[in-house]
Each structure stands twice: as C-alpha cells, then as structure tokens.
Amino acid sequence: MSIKTESRIGAPEVLFGLATAILLIVVGVPMALIFFNAFWVDGALNVADVMKVLKSPETFQALGNSLVLAGGVTVTGTLVGTFFAWLVTRTDLPFKKTMKLLFLVPFMLPAFIGALAWKMLLSPRAGYVNRFWMDTLGFESPLFDIYSYAGIILIETMYLFPFVFIKVSGALERMDPTLEESARISGADLFTITRKITIPLIMPSIVSGALLICLYSMAHFGTVAVLGMEVGIYNIPTLIYEKIHQSAGSWNSIRTATVLSMVLVTTAAIILWIQNRVLSKGKYQIIAGKSFRPTELRLGVFRTPMLIFCCVYIFVTIIVPTATIFGVGALKTYGLPLSLENMTLHNFEYILFEWELTRDSIWNSISLGLASALVTMFCGVIISYVIVKMKVRGKGFLEFLGMLPFSLPGSVIALGVILAWSGKFGINIYNTVWIILVAYIARYMAFSLKSNSAALEQVHDSLVEASRASGATPWQALRDIVIPLIRPGMVAAFFLIFLPALRELTTSVLLYGPTTRTIGVAIYTLNEDGETVYACALAGVALLLIVGGEILIKRFFEKKKRKDNGGA
C-alpha cells in the first residue's frame, strides 16, 4: 500500500501542486474575491446594492466615456497603424527599415508621460504652443484644447497605434503577392485590388490589432487621469481610483470599486470574445506560411512627400514630447520660456541625489521590476513545464488562470490583491511593497508563460526521456537538460516583464503607500501636487532608464543571434 502511495505522489504531482498554489495565490483568490465582494455582504447575497452602483449616473457617465474614448482611439489607431504598415511594407518608401523601427518607439514609451508633455504644450491657457498662438500670433482662442475627448483620443492614438501596425505589417509581409498580381493582370485597378483582395486578406490582423487597442484603451488610467479628471472626464479606471482614494480605502468604497471592476471585466470578456470569433473565421485565412517578396507599389511623385509626412509624424509624436519633458524638467520655474538662460541641471540633481521621495521611487521601481521579473520568470518555467511537458489532469485550468490577468485591466488586478491580502486570510501586506510585488507577478504572469511555453515546445521529449533512462530524477532532468535549453526564452520573459514593470502606473497607483511610490506614481503625484518641473525631471530619468533598457535588450538578442548563427 505504501508503495502505491509513493508512486502517486511523484515529481509531476508535486510540480502540478506547486504551479496550482502559485496561480491560486496570485491570480485565482484575488479574482474570485472581486466577484464575491460585489454580490455578498455580511454573508448574504445583495444584488440591490450592485444595481444601485450600476444605475448611478456617474457609473453610466464613466462607462459612456470609456466607450467613447476607446471607440475613438480604436478607429483612429487602426487607420494610422494600417496606413503606416502598408506604407513600410508595400511601397518603395525610402528608409523603410528605419521608419519601421521608429514607428515602434511609441510602443516602448509610457503614454501618461506623453500626456504630461502635451498637457504642457496644449493646455488652453498655460500651454507653450497655445501661448505662442495667442500671445505672439494674436489669436483670441487657443489652437487646441488638450483637456477634451479629442485630446485624450489623440494622445492615446499616438501610443497605441503600434498594436495594429505590428500585426498588419507582419500580415502584409507574409501575404502571397501572386493573388494581387493575378487581379492586376486581369485589369483591376489599385483601388479595386486593395478593397477586394488586400484588405480581406489582412482583415484578421486589422481586427485583432484594433481590439487590442480597444482593450488597452478601456483599461488606461494615466492619460485620462492627466488630461481628463481636471475637467470632469472620468473613465472606469479613473472612477475606481477616485472612489478608493476619496474614502481613504474604506470597505464601502472598495466594494463600489468591485462592482465597477466587474463592468471592466465584462467589457474585456466581450472584446476578447469578438476577437476570437473574428480570428476563427476560415474565409480570411489565406496568408501563406511561405516567405514571399511582396510587390512594391511605386509612389512616384508622392515618394518624397510621403517620407516627409512620416518624418513629421515621428517628430511630432516622439521628438516634440520628449524634448518638452527634458526642457520643462530643466526649467528654474514652470512657466518660464524654454530658453537656455532659464534652464538648470539642479532639478535632475535634486531628484536623483537629494529628494528622498523620488530617490525612493526610483529604487522601488527598479527593485520591484527586478524582483517581479525574476519571480515571475521562474514561476512561469514551472507552470509552463506542467502545461507543455506533463500529462496531468487540470493543466488547462492552470493555463486559463495564468493567462487571465493578460486580459484584465491593471486596476482590477490591484483591487483583487487588496481584497485578498489586506488581512482577510490573516495576512496584511496592504500599503507595503509586497502587495505591489504580488500584483506585478499576477499581471505579468502571462508574459512569462507565453515566452517559456514557446521555448519548451522546441525541446523534444526524447531529451528528457533519455536523461530519465540514464537514471536522472525529474528534478535533475529539469535542472540539467530543460532549463539550459530554454534559457533564451527565460531571458526574454525576464525583459518582457522588467521593462513594463519599470514604467507601470495603472496597478501601482491603487496600491502604493507613503514609502512605496514607484516612478510612475511619483511622476503622477508630483504633477497633481503642482511640482511640474520635478515631475518632468523624474519623467526624463524614467525615459532614459526605459530607452537604455530597450537598447541593452536589443544588443543582447543581436549578440545572441550572431552567436547562434556563428555556431550553426
């Protein structure tokens, strides 16, 4: 009897149990408590209070704002992303490779920092562009009011269009050009070919990217917080933040926030359902797996104007806001003209070496980013190993739990960990750095699972079986065979988690305490407190950290690729 028991509880069961425990702690319990606390009060079902929150005018207004903003950003982001993807893949535009890389830069930058920059440029009365427009050129009204629905949509479009750009450019590069050539030989003009052949072929990629934009825009906190809250424009994430912070985190306000979170979860589920329905349509799956050289459309007289247009767009969306952040961060006092005599490096020195608030925020972001990346990377290896390589019941449930936070807004995840780890189970880590770490692990687990699962799929089962036949234990096989082979996937997972965690705002803005501000939270709170020059100086430091990290990652993978090619 004892022999049977030992055979049942082996390495597969231990790994499965460990993987299940990790996901239940960081994902399952917090998400379950959101729904439980929304409907249950003092041990009884209470639907009346839920309906009261849902029917309140501010909920309707916030939901309406979320839908309007997400809809506007989705339409504009899809048009911009599709146009630029077509331009760099299917035309003879000069410097196409450089342009393609530059169009991806906004994807790496925090949108709320861009919103902060454009606030200083286009606020109705104090914005530098509007002041020049009215004071110097003599116009009575500002050129553009950034505190508006149009302003928020414009800024979010700048930073979210790469979702569509990446997907559509990839589809256009893989598409068999003979389909278009056949239509051209048959006498069809460019407009007809584009409308009847090209667009239907890439429609799954367009819709997939558009729905990702919609999902991210619905969950965005930073842009609406910087540009909307001041004039009464709230979406669901900013309303959740306002409810919790107005009542200093009281349980009544948290319970109201759980109902609002359900609205976000339901909306995200609908968006993902629509995406799956569109992508499952077989009639559009005509993109071949072979490598083709796409037919290039000659732009002719429009070649130079299109290049100028691309350069202007990149200048306006990347160079101008970045220069504004560093320029205002160097001003002696906010409001002075952006000239050299009004600038000093003291602000940067102060936030880096003297002011404890910002020094701590930089340390918190870097340490939280490193810790969450390391923990999530190794946890992802264990969970991915169970999902990909082991034949155990319930691994589909593990995959569902691991991928669930990827489709949820950061504010929902933050609220879940508040409910779970604020004393309910005898563990109270609220207002500590640990609760932010748990939230980061939950939010970025999907990144680790995707990267490690892809790497594990490439490790043939025969290698593990050979090590087991040679007498190695499952743990030795994992340590000596599997992990060395999937190390590139682990490194990729680490960086995929570290850099987003470094600039994170939506989750940490609901979780930070007096000593646990992150860089994103510190920038946001400094701006809210009127410390504009210090907020910009810290934002400049954050941009340097992020861009520096991206450059290091790119060099690492380029070096590895050269090494692999040389070894081959």
Distance of CA 310 to the CA centre of its chain: 25
Higher-confidence residue: 379 or 558? 379
Q: How many CA atoms lie within 13 A of 48 on its CB side?
A: 2
- pLDDT computed for residue 250 by the predictor: 63
Does the structure show a pLDDT above 80 at 341?
yes
Residue with tokens 């739990």: 401
The CB density around residue 410, as the number of other CB atoms within 10 Å, is 24
Compute the average pLDDT of residues 229-237.
89
**Torsion, Cα of 82, 83, 89, 93 (10° steps):** -170
Please check whether residue 386 is in contact with residue 453, taking contact to mean a CB–CB distance below 8 angstroms: no
Angstrom CA distances, 510 to 110, 203, 312, stand at: 18, 37, 37
Which pLDDT belongs to residue 470?
Answer: 79
d(CA 440, CA 374): 11
Q: Which helix (DSSP H) or strand (DSSP E) does residue 41 occupy?
A: strand 40-41
Residue 83 has pLDDT above 60, yes or no: yes
Given pLDDT bands bounded at 50, 70 and 90, which one contains residue 205?
Answer: confident
Contacts 24+ apart (CB under 8 A), 465-473: 473/11
- Bridge partners of 297, per DSSP, are 91
Tell whether the model's pLDDT for residue 310 goes beyond 90: yes
Supply 466's token pair: 């050979």
Neighbours of 483 (CB within 10 A): 15
Q: Which of 131-135, 240-244, 520-524 has the lowest mean pLDDT?
A: 240-244
Q: With a threshold of 0.85, does the pTM exceed it? A: no
pLDDT score of 6 more than 60? no
User: By C-alpha distance, which of 453, 465, 439, 443 is closest to 381?
Assistant: 453
What does the DSSP assignment read for 249-305?
A: T-HHHHHHHHHHHHHHHHHHHHHHHHHHHHHT-GGG----SS---PPPBP-GGGHHH
Residues forming beta bridges with residue 91, ordered by sequence position: 297
Predicted confidence at residue 256, as pLDDT, reads: 81
Task: Please state which of the ranges 141-155, 360-374, 473-487, 530-544 shows the lowest mean pLDDT.
Answer: 473-487
pLDDT tens digit sequence for 466-516: 877 777 776 777 777 888 888 777 887 888 788 888 888 888 988 888 888
Q: Position of tokens 């702690």?
A: 25
Q: What DSSP line would sit under 125-173, residue for residue?
A: TT-HHHHIIIIIT--SS-S--SSSHHHHHHHHHHHHTHHHHHHHHHHHH
**% residues pLDDT > 90 (the chain):** 19
Amino acid (1-letter code) at residue 151: G
Closest CA to 118 of 173, 155, 89: 155
CB 423 within 8 A of CB 45: no
**Mean pLDDT score of the chain:** 82
DSSP H helix total and E strand total for the chain? 29, 2
Closest CA to 440 of 342, 524, 510: 510
CA–CA distance, 322 with 500 (Å, rounded to integer): 19
Question: Long-range CB contacts (< 8 A, 24+ apart) of 125-129?
Answer: 126/335, 128/324, 128/338
pLDDT of residue 568: 46
- Asked if 375 and 441 touch (Cβ cutoff 8 Å), the reply is yes
- Residue 8, pLDDT > 60, answer no
158 or 2: which leads in pLDDT: 158
Rounded Cα distance between 486 and 364, Å, is 29
Instruction: Give the whole-angstrom CA distance, residue 521 versus residue 510.
Output: 9
Q: Are the C-beta atoms of residues 362 and 552 closer than 8 Å to each other?
A: no
Amino acid identity of residue 264, one-letter, is: L
Residue 337: how many other CB atoms lie within 10 Å:
10
Between residues 385 and 281, which one has the greater pLDDT? 385
H or E stretch at 405: none
pLDDT at 289: 45
DSSP symbol at 510: G
- In whole angstroms, give the CA distance from residue 365 to residue 371: 10
Contact 116, 528 (CB under 8 A): no
The span from the CA of 503 to the CA of 523, in Å, is 10
* Residue 133, pLDDT above cutoff 50: yes
pLDDT digits (tens, 9 = 90+) for 402-452: 877 877 778 888 888 888 888 778 888 888 899 999 999 998 988 888 888
d(CA 250, CA 502): 29
For the segment 542-548, the average pLDDT, to the nearest whole number, is: 85
pLDDT band at 154 (very low <50, low <70, confident <90, very high): very high
- The residue behind tokens 């005599």 is 341
The whole-number average pLDDT for the span 134-145 is 87
- Number of C-alpha atoms within 13 angstroms, CB side, residue 451? 24
- Percentage of the chain exceeding pLDDT 70: 90
- CB under 8 Å to 550, separation ≥6 — which residues? 108, 499
Give whole-number Cα distances, 290 to 97, 122, 174, 339, in Å.
21, 48, 7, 55
Calpha distance 490→476 (Å, rounded): 18
